[in-house]
Amino acid sequence: MLTVSIYRYNPEADDEPYMQDFEVDTQGKDVMVLDVLEKLKVEDPTLVYRRSCREGVCGSDGMNMSGKNGLACITPLSQAVKNNKLIIRPLPGLPVIRDLVIDMGQFYAQYEKIQPYMINNSPAPAIERLQSQEERAKLDGLYECILCACCSTACPSFWWNPDKFIGPSGLLQAYRFLADSRDTATEERLAKLDDPFSVFRCHGIMNCVQVCPKGLNPTRAIGHIRNMLIRSAT
Amino acid sequence: MVTSITSLGRSGLSDWLLQRVSACIMTLYVLFIVGYLMLNPGLQFADWQALHGSLPMRMFSLMTVLSLAAHSWIGMWCVFTDYVTVRLIGPKATAVRIFFQLMMIAVTLLYTIWAIDILWGI
């Protein structure tokens, strides 16, 4: 039997959060953490968490499993269980709405700040804006971000200043548009990132890289932004 | 975003560059002093005084003192703006943070002036 300890908090009924232990028979199978939650949800329908695609694409079920952020649907028990115990908490640093569901408003506010869309005011060509293979290759490792918030909520700089530091996810997306040959607002984008918080609160501890379920490297993207700022400002 | 008035360079990029350059200068100074002490095992007071009395060494020491001041200013400013915030300690945080930041700046300036006085008093 596997002991699963889950963070529970219902603001309408509980004075404060608490950890609730469940015993789960996984029959020795190395199932995903989400499978365990689904099984528990049948036993206790009051357990609340987000989920959707159950295959690591939608980014809904980001949570903290035995101390490490990740997607429950693609994290096998063999990676998350320690001493026959699985501890599940909501992603840290953002307000909890209920149980494992967090309020991601601050996360999305930072995403909105970086203008996550193409800016190009030149007349649109007849068919499409073309890129060379090399130009397109620069977007690899950037466009794959699914905004699950595992990285930003693993970042202490984001915990302390979620209203000022854009966070690894937002900065990865910022570089995705800075690196895009079709975008013409590079200088305007860079001008908004020069303050002491937006980019420069990153101290390069690489928690984001360690937890990204898509294997992306926000720290490297932040380094590229810094280099672009240096090129522009010196 | 409102410009920070207590950060050293008023810009993240300038603080970042200053932090790296000052770290390099301090590293060179430490390497030089350690190397000098290792190469001069029977060092006498007069030798040490002659070393620090020379103008190039005074300039190197002064650069290191200024680097240390800039480096600690930027570092401590980061610490205060991380931990002494309304989010973490409540509504009194702004007054507390300004107090700590001004104290830090005052202490940094005092130590810097004192170091200059020592260096040029050798």
Report ipTM for this prediction. Answer: 0.86
Chain B contact for A231, CB < 8 A? no
Cβ of residue A30 closer than 8 Å to a chain B Cβ: no
Contact status, residue A147 vs residue A169, Cβ threshold 8 Å: yes
Distance CA A36, CA A12 (A): 26
pLDDT of residue B122: 77
Domain annotation covers residue B34: yes
> How far is A191 from chain B, CA to nearest CA, in Å?
11
Map out the domains of chain A as residue ranges: 2-102, 105-233
Tell me, what CATH number does B71's domain have?
Answer: 1.20.1300.10
Task: Tell me whether residues B12 and A196 touch, CB distance under 8 A.
Answer: yes
In chain A, whose CA is at the least distance from the CA of B87?
A: A160
Is pLDDT above 90 for B117? Answer: yes
Q: Is residue B54, in this structure, part of any structural domain at all?
A: yes
List the one residue out of A51, A97, A222 whose CA is nearest residue A152. Answer: A222
For residue B111, give how far its alpha carbon lies from the nearest alpha carbon of chain A (Å).
25
Residue B6 lies in a domain: no
How far is the first Cα of chain B from the last one, in angstroms, to the nearest whole number? 46
pLDDT at residue B4, as a whole number: 83
Domain count, chain B: 1
Q: Would residue B2 count as lying in a domain? A: no
10 Å Cβ neighbour count for B106? 10
Q: Which residue of B has its CA nearest to A196?
A: B12
Q: How confident is the model at residue B5 (pLDDT cuts 50, 70, 90)?
A: confident
Q: With respect to CATH, is domain A2-102 assigned 3.10.20.30?
A: yes
Report the gap between the CA of A112 and the closest CA in chain B (Å): 15
Chain mean pLDDT for chain B: 94
> What distance in Å separates residue A145's CA from the closest CA in chain B?
26
Interchain CB distance below 8 Å, B11 and A194:
yes
A194 touches chain B (CB under 8 A): yes
Position B7 in a domain: no
What are the tokens at A93? 């640093």
| Set of chain A residues whose Cβ sits within 8 Å of the Cβ of B7 | 196
For residue B7, what pLDDT is reported? 87
Tens digits of per-residue pLDDT, B41-79?
A: 999 999 999 999 999 999 999 999 999 999 999 999 999
- B12:A198 CB<8 A: yes
Does some domain include residue B5? no
CATH superfamily of A105-233: Alpha-helical ferredoxin (1.10.1060.10)
Report the pLDDT value the prediction gives residue A175, as an integer from 0 to 100. Answer: 98
The residues on B that touch A, with CB distances below 8 Å, are 1, 3-4, 7, 11-13, 15-17, 77-78, 81-83, 85, 87-88
List CB contacts of A115: < 8 A, sequence separation 6 or more: A177, A185, A189
DSSP β-bridge partners for residue A102: A96
Structural domain boundaries, residue B35: 12-119
Q: Which tokens go with A125?
A: 């060509």
The answer to whether B13 contacts A233, with C-beta atoms less than 8 Å apart, is: yes
- Say if CB A71 and CB A148 are below 8 A apart: yes
pLDDT at B6 over 90: no
**Chain B partners of A159 at a C-beta cutoff of 8 Å?**
none
Note whether B25 and B31 are within 8 A (CB).
Answer: no
Q: How do the residues of chain A divide into helix, strand and coil, expressed in percent and rounded to 5? A: 35, 15, 50
Is residue B105 included in any domain, yes or no? yes
Residue A195 has its nearest CB partner, among B1, B78, B83, at B1
pLDDT tens for chain A, residues 1 to 234: 999 999 999 999 999 999 999 999 999 899 999 999 999 999 999 999 999 999 999 999 999 999 999 999 999 999 999 999 999 999 999 999 999 999 999 999 999 999 999 999 999 999 999 999 999 999 999 999 999 999 999 999 999 999 999 999 999 999 999 999 999 999 999 999 999 999 999 999 999 999 999 999 999 999 999 999 999 998
Cβ of residue A197 closer than 8 Å to a chain B Cβ? yes
